[in-house]
Structure 1
Amino acid sequence: MSDPLLDDLELIAAYKAGSESAARKLFDRYCEKLMRLARRRIGQRMASRIDPEDAVQSAFRTFFARVKSDQFTFEGESDLFKLLVRLTVNKTLRQIAHHRAAKRDPGRETGQGPDEEGLLDHLTADEPPPEVQVALLEEFERFLEQLPDFDRKVLGMKFEGYTTSEIAAKLGSYDRKIRRVFERAAAVAEGRAAVGDE
């Protein structure tokens, strides 16, 4: 099996020499991971406004344009992926900021209170580097895969910023049952319970 860095560098060199198939291979190699990252960043509240594919395609357009003019250099094993992650996060955050501008903010449309807005702003003020975000998202997805379908839905919605009451209403459940899902998931994460324990 060939070295992935060497493959990336060969594909970049081939693209710079005019190969569109090299560009397609690079896109196919990283597209799905970047789509997952963009989807998580956008969350369900913004999903009707922002298409994660737009953010990823925009990131690749910028990447290919700047690679063509030698604006990037790649040294480390994961430099290319880190760069694509950074571009995708920036494009996604720009689109979110655009849609959160006063009249377009879906949080205002759903009656999100000022205290909750302040908390979300506080939680997202100091963001970890993009590569850390990807690692966390992948770890979170692996954790979710261990859980029953209902628990996965509940935790996915919580991760996207929904309150306990909103989750209960959307899933046709009740607050106490949703809180039990959080308790169960915490116990599983800490190794105090096995998956499926009630």
Structure 2
Amino acid sequence: MCLPSVGIFSSLEQTAPTATTGNSSVTASAADFFNELTPYITEDTAFMEQASYDFFGKHNDVFPAITAELSKKVQGLVDSNVTTRHLNKNVANYYNTFVQVNGEVISVEEDSSLGATFSIVHVMDENGNDIIALYPATTGDLLDGDYATVIGAPITNFSFENVGGGYTNATLIGASLVIAD
């Protein structure tokens, strides 16, 4: 995958601290975090729509869902009828929806340069659909080649150049949970 380096986000220092830092003075929201990073992840080819931004703001407490209680809460909010096929057809229909994607981890990157760890996880589902999950926490022991479940809300569809010289279509998801299967 040819995503930009995750180390280029120094201008986002105000948005990086999340619930994983334990800093009570943090005022940045999940919506701001995902909004600021979307152009970098998509190489300036996509941005977050207002409906998506508002949804993240409404559910700020579950990004990331770091406690058992929050994990259970977000799992209960998933619309199990929505598949990657739906997201590929028209992601805008699902900006206000928690979705779940299961698949093989193609790559996982973590970065702590902003003062808090965040992760970028590329997952391919059983139908060959690609999801890029932006997760405001560490993924623990999750590694390339593992299988994972990602729960979150879609931000946008975009394409990136692949190693074969073509382009891969993907859906960017703001992840609330990334669970190794």
Normalised TM-score (structure 1): 0.21
Q: Which has the higher helix share?
A: 1
RCO higher in 1 or 2 (8 Å CA, sep ≥ 6)? 2
Larger relative strand fraction: 2
